[in-house]
Amino acid sequence: MRFTHITKTLCFTGFLLFSVTTLAATLTETTWEYFTKTFPLTGDDQALTNALNILGKDHWELVDCSESRARLICIFKRPLEEE
């Protein structure tokens, strides 16, 4: 969703008569690409944090995680770039 602020101000001989600000929302349809990554749970939280930050810098957004057999299975998404 994209927001646009529109402000209109009317003045009469230097005096402010009124100012109206509207907030317009534009819905845009986003197509997502998904990525699944499995991390071993080694107890090294900093290594996991670093790995997640690297993915974040590449615009991957964490959607969900689940733990299974000493592994953390994570699902990420990001907007699909149109070609």
Q: Which residues, other chains included, contact 31 with Cβ-Cβ below 8 Å and sequence gap of 6+? A: 79, 80, 82
pLDDT digits (tens, 9 = 90+) for 21-74: 555 556 678 899 999 999 999 999 999 999 999 999 999 999 999 999 999 999
**pTM (2 d.p.):** 0.63
